Chains A and B, each alone.
Chain A
Amino acid sequence: MLSVNDLSFSFKKNVIFDQVSFSINDGELVGLVAPNGTGKTTLLKLLCGLLPTAATTLTLNGIHLYQHRTAYLRQLFFLENSNQLYADLTVADHLTYVRSMWHSAVDIAGVVDSLGMAGYYRKKIKTLSLGMKQHVLLAMYLVSDAQTLLIDEPLNGLDPTSIQQFERVFLALKQQGKSMLISSHQMDSVGRVSDRVFFLQNQTIVPIENTGQDMLAVYNTMYLKAGEQHARSV
């Protein structure tokens, strides 16, 4: 379980998060939704220690980030986007690297086959399309076998078939007991896979249980109305 307690973060004088607390249970998939520039990626970076937090803010399965950083990171996988892949290395290099660094026992060949990556498994990242790179990223998450997966906009650049494939993978991971926090702008997809959705608003998180409601409508209520009110006041 990932526990976040009183998370605050400012960039210069701009407050991004103000005393945010939440937890994500094992086997729970949480969607992370907000307009661009609101702090989705910042939150994911905070959760894996790429940005500074207070010493007792983050706990993953009872392990504090600041006390046992390596043990904390071993249970977590996060790679912001496909630009952070090593352009001159192959897909195979990336997957074997992650498997070894995270001490995982996941069968790489099985992951490659299940994601339909066999055709470019030996190719260098720089030769791949955005969609292929997104598959590589997802494969790295799977190969890491980390308990907690923080995924930033995984559906970008994917065709509808791949989006459905990714959703099936997310649901399978949930079945395996993985905790996932997935940021996305694809509200229909968020509605299909999430147990809860975190909407970022006013430097805090508004958690909404997914009861099958129209997530796009919730989104519009939360952000577009605020935008209209802002426009009227101007």
Chain B
Amino acid sequence: MRALFKVTFKRDVQSTTNIVIFAALVILLLGTFFSQTGQANTTRGDLYNVYVTTDDGITNEVIALRKVKHRTAAQTARLNQKLTEKTYADQIIAAASASPAAADQLNRALLHYAQYALRQTQKDPRTPLQLIAYTDQPLDRSLLGRVKDVAFYRYLLDHHIQEIPTAAVHAPAINYLAGAFLYHVSPFLIIAVLLVGLAEFFTMDKRLGTIDFANTLPISKSKVLLIQGLLTCLLMFVLFLLAAVAVFLLVGSQNGWGTWTYPLVYSLDGLHARIMPLAQLMGMLVLSIFSLLVFFTAIGGLISLFVRTTGTHFLWASALLLTGLPSVLGPATRLMPWLPVGYFDYAAVILHRTNWPTLGFGGGVGLLLGWSLLVFGGTGVLLHRRQLL
């Protein structure tokens, strides 16, 4: 077994496919970085403009309402509300105009406005509030959206962290990577790249004509496939980690590193907000990719018994991957939480943004690993019957 492991490892590691996979992952993850090359860092200015736009919106409404000579009671109430909003907005702009060191002041002003917006929404969800509309982020007018805002700014204030929006130009490395995995690079694209590697290694012997050597080894063929799968899976996982680290180092050396405690807000129940520091997010992302790799390795092993070429292997594996696209999943059924396809979109699963029922992050990882065992067990039975890889 040790000799088989050593030889398979040596063959896999020396393959040029590794360089291709690594390069593809790095290029994918650096997409935003490249698109911002040569661009001035306008993040703070852009944020300031967002606050000013909010303030302008309120001001325009105030002017319009003041022009009404005979205001109804509702119009008067609305004018008062807008004047209150303006007070908060002015505080935000005043804080944003200060030096960057005044992050706490700005966070406090934003928290106050978020708390006000929450109170108003709790009183009447239809209250027409002038919300801060960040670039590249959908405006969430729900009560949960307000709850999330309060949790977010309270966390920033408590931890003395400056806000870094999703659309930040030259975001620090930690925020950049998180943004790339959650918003900018589709999970399906990242998995697809890894599937190319799996397809390449699982079909290598058949393609090169060396499969007969493996088939005449005096050892169970399930063990041969298991070792090939284990090594391929680990190799792809290491390549993924190396690509992420390379992107982290490159972006960090240019834009700074950021902080692992920077918050992401999410909700488990649609009512309460929870904070996830980026360190936890990264851990979950890595675990998600690992469990998906294990699952697709098990699937790849099964496919490899029936196909000879990398292209055909990749096509079959990608066809399965595509069934996890929200547009392909179709209407949610009671079976959905128990099917691996519901967990392919790891970003949606981690942030609890799926439109279909799931077992949550931990349940998803467990389910994928469970299915992997099941598929590998089935492949083992099949191999025992046919005795040939």
List the interface of chain A (C-beta within 8 A of B).
45, 48-50, 66, 69-71, 73-74, 76-80, 83-89, 93, 96-97, 100-102
Find B217's partner among A71, A73, A88 (CB 8 Å cutoff): A73
* Residues in A neighbouring B388, C-beta threshold 8 A: 49-50
Q: List 26 A-B contacts (CB under 8 A).
A: A49-B215, A49-B387, A50-B216, A50-B388, A70-B218, A71-B218, A76-B216, A78-B216, A79-B213, A79-B216, A83-B209, A84-B209, A84-B210, A84-B212, A84-B213, A86-B11, A88-B11, A88-B14, A89-B7, A89-B11, A96-B3, A101-B3, A101-B4, A101-B217, A101-B218, A102-B218
- Complex: how many Å from CA A122 to CA B220? 29
B332 within 8 A of partner (CB): no
For residue B2, which residues in chain A have a CB less than 8 angstroms away from its CB? 100
CA distance A93 to B14 in the complex (A): 14
Report chain A residues within 8 Å CB of B209. 83-84
The reply to whether the CB of B208 lies closer than 8 angstroms to some CB of chain A is yes
Residues 215-234 of chain B: 1 if any A CB is under 8 Å from the residue's CB, otherwise 0? 11111100000000000000
How long is the Cα–Cα vector from A93 to B3 in the complex, in angstroms?
9
- Say whether, besides A84-B210, A86-B210, A87-B208, A97 and B7 are in contact (CB < 8 Å): yes
The 8 A CB mask of B196-215 against A (1 = contact, 0 = none) is 00000000000011101101
Q: Is B70 an interface residue (CB 8 A)?
A: no
Which of A71, A74, A97 lies at the interface centre, i.e. has the most chain B CB atoms within 10 A of its CB? A97
Contact A73 B218 (CB under 8 A): yes
**Is B10's CB within 8 Å of the partner chain A?**
yes
Q: B residues bordering A, Cβ < 8 Å?
A: 2-4, 6-7, 10-11, 14-15, 208-210, 212-213, 215-220, 387-388
> How many residue-residue contacts, CB under 8 A, span A and B?
61
Q: Is the CB of B14 within 8 A of A70?
A: no
Q: Across the two chains, which residue of chain A brings its CB closest to B384? A: A69
The chain A residue sitting closest to B220, CB to CB, is A70
Cα distance, A105 to B382, chains bound together (Å): 33
Closest B residue, CB atoms, query A103: B218
CA of A70 to CA of B14, assembled, Å: 29
Q: Are B11 and A69 in contact (CB under 8 A)?
A: no
**Interface contact A48-B7, CB-CB below 8 Å:** no
Nearest-neighbour CB distance to chain A for B278, whole angstroms, equals 40
Residues on A with beta carbons closer than 8 Å to the beta carbon of B14: 88
A101 to B8, CA, bound (A): 13
- Would B3 and A100 count as touching, CB distance under 8 A? yes
B7 engages A86 (CB within 8 Å): yes
Instruction: Please measure, in the bound complex, the distance between the C-alpha atom of A66 and the C-alpha atom of B386, giving whole angstroms.
Output: 10
B7 contacts A69, C-beta separation under 8 Å: no
Once the chains bind, are B219 and A101 in contact (CB under 8 Å)?
yes
Q: Which residues of B contact A88 (CB under 8 A)?
A: 10-11, 14-15
Please, which residue of chain A has its CB at the minimum distance from the CB of B388?
A50
Give A98's nearest chain B residue, CB to CB. Answer: B3
User: What is the bound-complex CA distance between A74 and B210, given in angstroms?
Assistant: 19
Contact A89 B210 (CB under 8 A): no
A38 to chain B, nearest CB (A): 20
Asked if A89 meets B10 with Cβ closer than 8 Å, knowing A79-B212, A84-B213, the reply is yes
Q: Bound complex: CA of A77 vs CA of B213, how far in Å? A: 10
CB distance from A115 to the nearest CB of B (A): 20
Contacts of B208 in A (CB 8 A): 87
Contact B210 A93 (CB under 8 A): no
Q: Which residues of A contact B217 (CB under 8 A)?
A: 73, 101
Give Cα A80–Cα B6 distance, bound, in whole angstroms.
23
**Contact A93/B10 with A50-B388, A100-B3 known, Cβ cut-off 8 Å:** yes
Contacts of B212 in A (CB 8 A): 45, 50, 79-80, 84
Tell me the bound Cα distance from A89 to B208 in angstroms: 14
A sample of 13 more A-B contacts (CB under 8 A), given A70-B220, A97-B7, is: A49-B216, A49-B387, A50-B388, A69-B387, A79-B212, A79-B216, A80-B212, A84-B209, A85-B210, A86-B7, A88-B15, A100-B2, A102-B218
Name which residue of chain B comes closest to A74, CB basis: B218
* Contact call B219/A70, Cβ cutoff below 8 A: yes
Bound together, the chains give a CA A102 to CA B4 distance in angstroms of 11
Would you call A93 and B7 a contact (CB within 8 A)? yes
Distance of A85 Cα from B210 Cα, bound (Å): 7
Q: A50 vs B211: C-alpha distance in the bound complex, in angstroms? A: 10
**Complex contact B11–A48 (CB within 8 A):** no
Residues of A within 8 A of B3 (CB): 96-97, 100-101
Measured in the bound complex, the distance between the Cα atoms of B217 and A84 in whole Å is 13
Contacts of A70 in B (CB 8 A): 218-220
Residues of A within 8 A of B216 (CB): 48-50, 73, 76-79
**What's the minimum C-beta distance from A227 to chain B, rounded to whole angstroms?**
31
**Interchain CA distance A162-B11 in the complex, whole Å:** 30
**Using Cβ atoms and an 8 Å threshold, which residues of chain A touch B213?**
79, 84-86
- What's the least CB distance linking B309 to chain A, in Å? 18
* Residues of B close to A100: CB separation below 8 A: 2-3
Interchain CA distance A83-B220 in the complex, whole Å: 24
Contacts of A78 in B (CB 8 A): 216
